[in-house]
Amino acid sequence: MQRLEALWKLVSVAAAVRDVALESRRLEFVAAAGSTFYLHAEHARVTVARWPQRRILLEAALQAGFGWRMQAEQDEAGVYVVAKRRTLVGNLSRAQFRVLLPDDVYAVLKLAAGSLELEDVDGTLHLPPAAAGPLTLRAAAE
Protein backbone atom coordinates (compact mmCIF):
# COMPACT_ATOMS: atom_id res chain seq x y z
CA MET A 1 0.00 0.00 0.00
CA GLN A 2 2.86 2.38 0.82
CA ARG A 3 4.41 1.73 -2.58
CA LEU A 4 1.12 2.53 -4.28
CA GLU A 5 0.84 5.82 -2.38
CA ALA A 6 4.46 6.71 -3.21
CA LEU A 7 3.85 5.92 -6.86
CA TRP A 8 0.68 8.01 -6.90
CA LYS A 9 2.58 10.99 -5.41
CA LEU A 10 5.31 10.60 -8.02
CA VAL A 11 2.75 10.58 -10.84
CA SER A 12 1.04 13.67 -9.40
CA VAL A 13 4.33 15.57 -9.19
CA ALA A 14 5.28 14.58 -12.75
CA ALA A 15 1.89 15.79 -14.05
CA ALA A 16 2.27 19.10 -12.21
CA VAL A 17 5.76 19.64 -13.64
CA ARG A 18 4.51 18.86 -17.14
CA ASP A 19 1.68 21.38 -16.83
CA VAL A 20 4.00 24.08 -15.46
CA ALA A 21 6.41 23.47 -18.34
CA LEU A 22 3.77 24.24 -20.99
CA GLU A 23 4.70 27.44 -22.80
CA SER A 24 2.43 29.35 -25.15
CA ARG A 25 3.58 31.68 -27.89
CA ARG A 26 1.54 33.80 -30.27
CA LEU A 27 3.08 35.28 -33.40
CA GLU A 28 1.14 37.66 -35.62
CA PHE A 29 2.19 39.12 -38.98
CA VAL A 30 0.53 41.43 -41.49
CA ALA A 31 0.26 39.46 -44.73
CA ALA A 32 0.59 41.03 -48.15
CA ALA A 33 -1.55 39.54 -50.89
CA GLY A 34 0.23 36.67 -52.62
CA SER A 35 2.90 36.28 -49.96
CA THR A 36 4.25 32.96 -48.65
CA PHE A 37 4.10 31.33 -45.24
CA TYR A 38 6.87 28.79 -44.53
CA LEU A 39 6.91 26.56 -41.46
CA HIS A 40 9.69 24.08 -40.69
CA ALA A 41 8.81 22.06 -37.58
CA GLU A 42 9.98 18.86 -35.91
CA HIS A 43 7.92 16.49 -33.77
CA ALA A 44 4.90 18.76 -33.88
CA ARG A 45 1.19 18.60 -34.55
CA VAL A 46 0.28 21.34 -37.02
CA THR A 47 -3.23 22.56 -37.77
CA VAL A 48 -3.75 24.93 -40.71
CA ALA A 49 -6.91 26.91 -41.40
CA ARG A 50 -7.86 29.81 -43.65
CA TRP A 51 -9.54 32.98 -42.48
CA PRO A 52 -10.61 36.28 -44.07
CA GLN A 53 -8.27 38.55 -42.09
CA ARG A 54 -5.15 40.13 -43.66
CA ARG A 55 -2.78 38.64 -41.13
CA ILE A 56 -1.00 35.38 -40.40
CA LEU A 57 -1.49 34.07 -36.88
CA LEU A 58 0.58 31.26 -35.36
CA GLU A 59 -0.32 29.95 -31.92
CA ALA A 60 2.24 27.58 -30.43
CA ALA A 61 1.83 25.35 -27.39
CA LEU A 62 5.27 24.04 -26.46
CA GLN A 63 5.49 21.30 -23.89
CA ALA A 64 8.84 21.61 -22.10
CA GLY A 65 9.44 24.91 -23.89
CA PHE A 66 13.07 24.96 -22.77
CA GLY A 67 13.64 22.12 -25.24
CA TRP A 68 12.77 24.24 -28.29
CA ARG A 69 14.57 26.66 -30.56
CA MET A 70 12.07 28.81 -32.41
CA GLN A 71 12.84 31.62 -34.84
CA ALA A 72 10.51 33.74 -36.97
CA GLU A 73 11.24 36.33 -39.65
CA GLN A 74 9.27 38.36 -42.15
CA ASP A 75 10.35 40.04 -45.36
CA GLU A 76 8.58 41.38 -48.45
CA ALA A 77 8.08 37.84 -49.80
CA GLY A 78 6.53 36.31 -46.71
CA VAL A 79 6.83 34.88 -43.22
CA TYR A 80 9.26 32.15 -42.18
CA VAL A 81 9.06 30.15 -38.94
CA VAL A 82 11.45 27.41 -37.84
CA ALA A 83 10.81 25.34 -34.70
CA LYS A 84 13.30 22.62 -33.83
CA ARG A 85 13.87 20.59 -30.73
CA ARG A 86 17.17 21.06 -28.90
CA THR A 87 19.59 18.16 -28.74
CA LEU A 88 19.07 15.91 -25.70
CA VAL A 89 16.59 18.04 -23.69
CA GLY A 90 14.38 18.31 -26.76
CA ASN A 91 13.51 14.62 -26.54
CA LEU A 92 11.10 15.54 -23.72
CA SER A 93 9.44 18.25 -25.81
CA ARG A 94 6.29 18.24 -27.90
CA ALA A 95 4.54 21.05 -29.74
CA GLN A 96 1.22 21.99 -31.25
CA PHE A 97 0.96 24.77 -33.81
CA ARG A 98 -2.26 26.35 -35.04
CA VAL A 99 -1.78 28.50 -38.13
CA LEU A 100 -4.43 30.83 -39.54
CA LEU A 101 -3.71 32.09 -43.05
CA PRO A 102 -5.45 34.55 -45.37
CA ASP A 103 -7.04 32.90 -48.40
CA ASP A 104 -4.45 34.22 -50.87
CA VAL A 105 -1.29 33.26 -48.94
CA TYR A 106 0.78 30.37 -50.29
CA ALA A 107 1.79 27.86 -47.58
CA VAL A 108 4.91 25.69 -47.48
CA LEU A 109 5.14 23.22 -44.60
CA LYS A 110 8.28 21.18 -43.98
CA LEU A 111 7.53 18.67 -41.22
CA ALA A 112 9.81 16.08 -39.65
CA ALA A 113 8.11 13.34 -37.61
CA GLY A 114 5.02 15.52 -37.38
CA SER A 115 1.33 15.45 -38.12
CA LEU A 116 -0.83 17.79 -40.15
CA GLU A 117 -4.49 18.70 -39.92
CA LEU A 118 -6.18 20.86 -42.56
CA GLU A 119 -9.45 22.53 -41.60
CA ASP A 120 -12.27 23.28 -44.04
CA VAL A 121 -10.65 21.68 -47.09
CA ASP A 122 -12.25 21.97 -50.52
CA GLY A 123 -10.55 20.31 -53.46
CA THR A 124 -8.46 17.26 -54.24
CA LEU A 125 -5.43 16.18 -52.25
CA HIS A 126 -2.92 13.85 -53.90
CA LEU A 127 -0.80 11.55 -51.72
CA PRO A 128 1.88 9.60 -53.61
CA PRO A 129 2.80 6.05 -52.56
CA ALA A 130 5.48 5.83 -49.86
CA ALA A 131 7.82 4.15 -52.36
CA ALA A 132 7.89 7.41 -54.34
CA GLY A 133 10.04 9.00 -51.63
CA PRO A 134 9.26 11.71 -49.08
CA LEU A 135 5.62 12.77 -48.94
CA THR A 136 4.98 15.84 -51.06
CA LEU A 137 1.52 17.34 -51.20
CA ARG A 138 0.45 19.63 -54.00
CA ALA A 139 -3.02 21.06 -54.35
CA ALA A 140 -4.46 20.44 -57.79
CA ALA A 141 -6.64 23.08 -59.39
CA GLU A 142 -10.12 21.74 -60.09
CB under 8 Å to 78, separation ≥6 — which residues?
Answer: 31, 35, 36, 37, 38, 105, 106
In whole angstroms, what is the distance from residue 49 CA to residue 120 CA? 7
Does pTM top 0.95 for this prediction? Answer: no
The answer, yes or no, to whether residue 15 has pLDDT greater than 70, is no
The answer, yes or no, to whether residue 122 has pLDDT greater than 50, is yes
In whole angstroms, what is the distance from residue 26 CA to residue 60 CA? 6
In whole angstroms, what is the distance from residue 87 CA to residue 89 CA? 6
Q: What is the mean pLDDT of the chain?
A: 84
Kindly report, residue by residue over 39-80, the tens digit of the pLDDT. 999 999 999 999 999 999 999 999 888 888 999 999 999 999
